Amino acid sequence: MKYLVIVEETGTGFSAFSPDLPGCIATGFTRADVETEIASAIAFHIEGLRAEGLDVPPPRASATYVSAPA
């Protein structure tokens, strides 16, 4: 499954989360680091949901850019 991941630059690196998986977050010093970490975090999160007998939410979130006056 492919989940939307939001990556944000922070004062010390990058953070990432998936809107479809509340509580699933990751951080890293570089964008590449955080992308690797969030992929691992998503896999771990899904594994935990399954181990608890909970439903794994399907990917639903999407993203787009819109123009706004400056």
Q: What band does 70 get if pLDDT is binned at 50, 70 and 90?
A: confident
- CA 17/CA 19 separation, integer angstroms: 6
Q: Report yes or no: 9 and 19 within 8 Å, Cβ to Cβ.
A: no
Q: What is the pLDDT of residues 5-24, one digit of tens each?
A: 999 999 999 999 999 999 99
The overall pTM is greater than 0.75: yes
- Give the pLDDT score at 19: 98
Quick one: three-class SS letters along the chain?
Answer: CCCCCEEEECCCCEEEECCCCCCCEEEECCHHHHHHHHHHHHHHHHHHHHHCCCCCCCCCCCCCCCCCCC
Q: What is the pLDDT of residues 36-67, one digit of tens each?
A: 999 999 999 999 999 999 999 999 999 999 99
Residues 6+ apart with CB under 8 A from 31: 7, 14
Mean pLDDT of 65-70: 94
